Amino acid sequence: MSSIEIKIINKSDNSLPNYATSGSSGMDIKADLTDVVTIKPMERTLIPTGLFLEIPDGYEAQIRPRSGLAIKNGITCLNTPGTIDADYRGEIKVILINLSSEEQVIRHGDRIAQMVFQKVEKAVWLKTQEINVTERNEGGFGHTGNN
């Protein structure tokens, strides 16, 4: 597995994001809150992290839900995966939504999402009048079966 260096400013008193295991793809990121945040059922909110990144050109950070938070509390991230572009310099914030039927509480230091770094390729458009036909062709939205 290769690695990249990411400059980070941590304005919270939380530890830096880190990989929980040697095989982890994502690093847990934590809430940076002065007060608890209560999220009502079907309500969404923006949670600050106190983290500021300088991501190298050619990379992005993706913000993804934590599976434990989703299954245990019904909390997930909207706009998933959220993309943090290499030229963004603002605070990393996470959009959470409560999909459960009960109010959920987020506290300072809670692990709220995970962050994965990905290499990004830039597309160059080649205008044409025709594209190749495939076996699938225009099939979509359940075309391969009942589900």
Phi, psi dihedral angles at 143 (to 5 degrees) = -65, -15
Concatenating the DSSP letter of every residue in 62-80 gives EEE--HHHHHHH-EEESSS
Question: Which residues lie below 8 Å from residue 43, measured CB to CB, with a gap of 6+?
Answer: 97, 98
Residue 78 has pLDDT above 70, yes or no: yes
pLDDT of 106 reads 98
Tens-place pLDDT, residues 89-135 = 999 999 999 999 999 999 999 999 999 999 999 999 999 999 998 88
The answer to whether 97 and 65 have CB atoms below 8 angstroms apart is no
The full set of domain ranges for the chain reads 8-119
pLDDT band at 60 (very low <50, low <70, confident <90, very high): very high
pLDDT of 134 reads 85
CATH 2.70.70.10, applies to 8-119: no
The answer to whether 89 and 28 have CB atoms below 8 angstroms apart is no
Question: Which residues lie below 8 Å from residue 47, measured CB to CB, with a gap of 6+?
Answer: 31, 33, 37, 93, 94, 95, 96, 106, 112
This prediction has a pTM of 0.88
Report CA dihedral (19, 21, 23, 25) to the nearest 10 degrees: -30
